[in-house]
Amino acid sequence: MFAALLCTVLFSASAVSARKTTECLGGTEANFVRLIFAPTLMLLVALSFGPALMGYWHPKVFGLFLLSGAIGFGLGDIALFRAFPLLGSRLTTLIVHCVSVPVAAITEYFWLGTTMTPQQIVCAVVILAGVAVALAPKENPSLERSDLLKGIGWGLIAAFGQGFGAGVLSRVITENVAPGTGVELDGFHAGITVAVQRMLGGMLFSGLFLLAVRAWLKRKPNSPLAGMTRADGTNDWRGGFPWLLATGLAGPALGVTCYQWALLDNATGVVLPIIATTPLVVIPMSIALNEEKPSWRSLAGGVVAVAGVVGMVLMTRTA
C-alpha cells in the first residue's frame, strides 16, 4: 500500500516536471536522456544487492521485458513528451492514466480472451465521458483547437503504451511467462530489476527513434517530423537539466520501481485504484507552478474519469 501511495506522488511530480522539461528541451531528446541516466542509476542500485538478484534475470523474461519497455517507455513516452507541451501536465496525465485502463481491458479481451462484464463496460463509458468533458474545447479556451487535437492524438498513443506495454504485457510476463522459467518475481528487489529491464527497452527504442528522425531530417529538413527534435541546437540544457533530473528520478527510476514493487506485493485491484488518482494529485502541483487554471467543469470531468477508473478496477477485482 505504501509503495502505491508513493508511486502516485512520484508519477505526479514526474508529470509536472516533464512538462517543464519540454519547455527547455525537445521532447524526444529529453525522453531519451532521462532513459539513459534513470536505468543506469537503478542498475547500479540493483547490482549493489549482489548475487541475490541473479535469480530475477532470465534471457526469455529479459527479452519480453525489453519489448514491454520499448512499447511503454519507448513509444508511449515519446508520445507522452509530445503531448505535454500541447495539453499541459493535467490533461495529458488524465488521458494517459484513465484511457489506459479501458485500453488494457479491451486488449486483454481480444488477446487473452478476458471477458468484460457489463459493469466494467459501464465504467469504461464513464471514463471516456469524463475525459471527453475535461478535454472539451470550451473547457480549455487557452488551447488552440489544432494543438488540442494533436495533443489528444499523442495522449492516446501514450495511453496505449501504458495500457498495453506497462499493463497487459507486463502482467503476462510476470504471471504466465516468468513462472515457467523458474524466475520468481517477488519483493522490492524484483521490482527494481523489472523496472531496469523495461527501462533498457525504452532507452533502446528511444535512441533508435531519435537517430532515425535526425537521419531523416538531414535528407528532408522541411519534413513534418521537424517538430520531433531540436537538432538546431536551441535546447536550453542549463535551464532544463534540473527538471529533466526531477522527471527522470520521479518517473522511470523511483516511480516505476515503486509501481512494480506495489504490483508484486499487492493485488492489482488494490494498487491501480490508488495510482489512478495521479491526475488529481497533479492538479495542485500544476496550479502551484502557474501552469494553468482549469475550469470547474474540466476538473469535474477529471474526477468523473478517475472515479470510472477506480470503479473498473474494483469491478475487475470482484469479477
> 179: which residues sit within 8 A by CB, 6+ positions away?
none
pTM here? 0.82
Distance CA 135, CA 301 (A): 8
Give me 155's grid cell: 495522449
Residues 138-173: tens digit of each pLDDT: 777 778 888 889 999 999 999 998 888 766 776 677
Cell numbers at 197, concatenated: 529491464
What are the residues whose beta carbons fall under 8 Å from the beta carbon of 110, sequence distance 6 or more? none
Q: How far apart are CA 285 and CA 89, in angstroms?
A: 9
Segment 237-252, tens digit of pLDDT:
788 888 888 988 888 7
Q: pLDDT band for position 215 (50/70/90)?
A: confident
Q: What is the mean pLDDT of residues 71-94?
A: 88
Is 204 buried (19+), middle (13-18) or exposed (0-12) by CB count in 10 A? Answer: middle
Which residue stretches of 96-142 are H helix?
A: 100-111, 118-135
The residue among 92, 86, 96, 85 whose CA lies nearest residue 19 is: 85
